Chain A
Amino acid sequence: MQKIRKYHFLFEELVKRDFTKKYKRTILGMAWSVLNPLLTLLIMWLVMSKFFGSNMAHYLIYLFAGNLVFSYFSDATNLGMNSLLSNAAIFTKVNVPKYMFLLSANVSSLINFGLTLIIFFGFVAIDGVAFSWKFLLLIYPIICLVLFNIGMGLILSALQVFFRDMQYLWGVISQLIMWVSAIFYTIDSYSQTIQNLFLLNPIYLYIRYFRKIVIDATVPTLQFHLLAAAYALIALGIGAWIYKKYNHEFLYYV
């Protein structure tokens, strides 16, 4: 706790720096990063609604839920994975906790996600989905997702220091994750076994949580909740372990 208080100021200053640099002090810069997932959504909707939309209610919401979660995941991991390497000039010369850089990079992705989420609820309202108290439960997958993204960011940023081609590799892997996350298609026509296999993908699980609440208006099972938390904690645990173990090794590799 004392440590949190001590580095609170540093954290704020790093967030401020990352924000200033990312948006170059322009409002349009910020608008662009919200517009980006919306444009993806628009294109997917134009192309896919003909195939999947005709026999499904609220296909736009279905699609948006998928894009909302995935674009946050992709944004947070891609920004986060460079956080260590791009701050090498700092941590090789000043004694600061290295995870600070990742946390600060995650804040701007989280804010983007929050803005997109507001637009998502706007779409939900326009599409005529009834709001209910169950929507409050969405806090749960959001917290899991935030922790999961931080964990993945820790792992990836450390790997990026050791292996410089990680960036390209991750580009490919995150594409693959996108395809198996059922963002624009449904998995109903697969056998039950394959449907269960989809749950091995944390991103799919979080997307599914959103869809269950918003479109189906049902609360997921307890096991579903436990699995969602387990993915987040496992990613976070591995990330924290790597940072702890290699804390003083990173500087040999930059």
Chain B
Amino acid sequence: MGSILKVENISIAYKLGDFKDIGLKEWTMRHLTHKFHVERFMAVDGVSFELKEGDLLGIVGPNGAGKSTLLKVIAGIMVPTCGSVEANGNISALLELGSGFDGDLTVKENAYLRGAMLGHSRKFMNQTFDQIISFAELEKFQDRPFKQLSSGMQSRLAFSIASLVQPEILILDEVLSVGDGAFQAKSAAKMREIIHGGAVTIFVSHSLQQIRGLCNKVLWLDHGKQVAFGNAAEICDRYQEFLSEKNI
């Protein structure tokens, strides 16, 4: 089995500071008075792992561990400060629900826009649109403005588009915990189907139970550092131990 995704010694220095939202006047003033500071901190620091066909990786770690930043690098949205990502195949990333959707457009228009962003053709969208909308159970809503949907419905649409397009690498950031119970079961089943199709899936979740149920591999991050990577059951046990120690 070939390696689909290889992440080698990735580090990302994230820029922080109150330099955002400032104007040219403020910027000039701060440079003149030497008050312009940009802080850098290592959001991800030396992470390496390799995934093969059919792997499902769960990423665990406390808030601010660098999980989302790591996903952004794999998705190609950010470039790593050092290290490299080698991906063989299409990447479809679902980083935040509702991102890239426009409230004023209809559900159908949004689905097409989103499909276009994920790099698909109009022909492909014409073919799969019915499938997408029926999986999301939104047939009756397809000509409604997107903003009229409930947040659960919005995330159902987002999930349907991302998963039905059969990417080789699917990235999900805390999106599985959305929708009602029935949809969650359906999306978990769908994920298993994708995995059996030979794809690689990466997802971040705070639910250890979900990770145990779905993943075969786990990456544990803490403050950007890689604590452990390997077999899901083993690392979940260690992480759970770590969490319970912290609570005492």
Chain B interface mostly: loop
* Cα(A247)–Cα(B229), bound, Å: 31
* Cα(A224)–Cα(B165), bound, Å: 52
CB contacts (< 8 Å) of A90 on chain B: these are 99-100, 117
* B76: nearest chain-A partner, CB-CB: A95
Asked if B206 CB lies within 8 Å of chain A CBs, one says no
* B16: nearest chain-A partner, CB-CB: A252
Contact residue range for chain A?
Answer: 20 to 34
CB contacts (< 8 Å) of A123 on chain B: these are none
B:31-86 near A, CB below 8 Å = 72, 75-79
Which of A161-169, A206-214, A231-239 is the contact stretch?
A161-169
Q: How many residues of B contact A (CB 8 A)?
A: 38
Asked if A248 CB lies within 8 Å of chain B CBs, one says yes
* A88: nearest chain-B partner, CB-CB: B99
CB contacts (< 8 Å) of A254 on chain B: these are 20
* Cα(A154)–Cα(B77), bound, Å: 19
Asked if A96 CB lies within 8 Å of chain B CBs, one says yes
* Cα(A6)–Cα(B24), bound, Å: 37
CB contacts (< 8 Å) of A166 on chain B: these are 23-24
Given contacts A90-B99, A94-B99, A94-B118, contact A163 B27 (CB under 8 A): yes
Contact pattern, B 92-107, Cβ under 8 Å of A = 1, otherwise 0: 0101100110101100
Given contacts A17-B102, A21-B104, A89-B99, contact A96 B22 (CB under 8 A): no
Contact B77 A94 (CB under 8 A): yes
Chain A interface mostly: helix
CB contacts (< 8 Å) of B99 on chain A: these are 89-90, 92-94
A:157-199 near B, CB below 8 Å = 162-166, 169
Asked if A251 CB lies within 8 Å of chain B CBs, one says yes
Asked if B228 CB lies within 8 Å of chain A CBs, one says no
Asked if A10 CB lies within 8 Å of chain B CBs, one says yes
CB contacts (< 8 Å) of B72 on chain A: these are 92
* B98: nearest chain-A partner, CB-CB: A89
Contact A9 B23 (CB under 8 A): no
Contact A251 B78 (CB under 8 A): yes
Contact partner of A252 among B15, B22, B26, B76, CB < 8 A?
A: B15
Contact A17 B119 (CB under 8 A): no
Contact A17 B109 (CB under 8 A): yes
Contact pattern, B 114-128, Cβ under 8 Å of A = 1, otherwise 0: 011111111001000
A-B contact pairs, 11 of them (CB 8 A): A12-B116, A14-B113, A16-B113, A17-B109, A17-B113, A90-B99, A93-B93, A93-B96, A94-B95, A94-B99, A162-B27
A residues contacting B by CB (< 8 A) are: 6, 9-10, 12-14, 16-17, 20-21, 89-96, 162-166, 169, 248, 251-254
B residues contacting A by CB (< 8 A) are: 14-15, 19-27, 72, 75-79, 91, 93, 95-96, 99-100, 102, 104-105, 109, 112-113, 115-122, 125
Q: A162-B27, A251-B78 are in contact. List 13 more A-B contacts (CB 8 A).
A: A9-B120, A14-B113, A16-B109, A17-B109, A17-B113, A89-B99, A90-B100, A93-B77, A94-B117, A163-B22, A163-B24, A166-B24, A252-B14
